Amino acid sequence: MKIALDIGHVANSGSVGIGGMKEHAAAKTIVELLAPMLRHGGHEVDVYDFPTMGNDAELRAVADVINAPAGDPTVPDYELAISVHFDAADSPTPHGAHVCYTSTKGQRCARCVARYLAELLPGRADTVQYRPKLYILKHTIPVAILCECGFGTNPQDARIIREEPERIAKAICEGVMLWEPIWDEIRAAEEEAARRREELNKEK
Ligand SMILES: [Zn+2]
């Protein structure tokens, strides 16, 4: 499967966690651990990061390259896009990971990833959340999810983000592996439906 990984935000932006931990830097560490894990699982992986752009320009640039890595939006390429982030709150109490989606297909994938990610970083009542307004989910063509890998402002979560980012990467990777056969079935069913439609149209 071809997978695009997005390091959330640009350098020195996004949320700030305990000890001044920056969201972009933490996401970069997780993504750089996740990419080789997914490649090891047989996937083709590209990492996208435009750290020096403005926030809005970065979102557009990431969506554009995910939709048309070869420069042609009619050529389907990536089957999955994963954006990596961490949450922040005014109080140290909120904790736990959740995975955001907009499409039904994204929801399936989000559930698979949340199963592992929220086991490592528990605390959210809704570990999978429908977020139709998140730019990177709203403006991308492939199945897309956005992982909020716990709260940088919570001591337990921040410790895992800072000291054990490989466990976060592994949880996301395991979720993708759980989702992969489900995705294969969805694609096979869609192809079968398209074939049937064609056959029925010919009979008319
Ligand atoms: Zn973020």
Find the 51 Cα to ligand 1 centroid distance in Å.
13
Return the structure tokens found at 65: 């390259």
Give burial (CB, 10 Å; 0-12/13-18/19+) of 163. exposed
4 Cβ neighbours under 8 A, 6+ residues apart: 45, 46, 48, 65, 66, 69, 78, 80, 81, 82, 142
The residue range of the domain holding 33 is 2-203
| Interval 44-52 mean pLDDT | 93
Find the 9 Cα to ligand 1 centroid distance in Å.
6
pLDDT over 90 percentage in the chain: 83
Model confidence pLDDT, tens digit, residues 63-79: 999 998 877 767 668 99
* Cα Rg of the chain (Å, integer): 18
Confidence (pLDDT) at 45:
96
Find the 43 Cα to ligand 1 centroid distance in Å.
25
Model confidence pLDDT, tens digit, residues 89-143: 999 999 999 999 999 889 999 999 999 999 999 999 999 999 999 999 999 999 9
Which CATH number goes with the domain that contains 198? 3.40.630.40
Mean pLDDT value across the chain: 94
CA dist 180 and 183 (Å) reads 5
Give the count of alpha carbons within 13 A of 2, CB side only.
Answer: 11
Model confidence pLDDT, tens digit, residues 1-39: 999 999 999 988 889 999 999 999 999 999 999 999 999
Find the 204 Cα to ligand 1 centroid distance in Å.
52
Number of domains making up the chain: 1
pTM of the entire predicted model: 0.92
Q: Cα(first)–Cα(last) distance of the chain, in Å?
A: 37
Find the 180 Cα to ligand 1 centroid distance in Å.
25
CA dist 5 and 80 (Å) reads 9
| Interval 161-184 mean pLDDT | 96
Confidence (pLDDT) at 76:
64
CA dist 89 and 160 (Å) reads 17
Find the 186 Cα to ligand 1 centroid distance in Å.
30
Confidence (pLDDT) at 165:
98
Find the 148 Cα to ligand 1 centroid distance in Å.
7
Q: Please, what is the angle between helix 165-203 and helix 155-163, to 10°?
A: 80
Confidence (pLDDT) at 13:
81
For the CA atoms of 149, 151, 153, 158, the dihedral, rounded to the nearest 10 degrees, stands at: -50
Confidence (pLDDT) at 203:
85
Find the 15 Cα to ligand 1 centroid distance in Å.
6
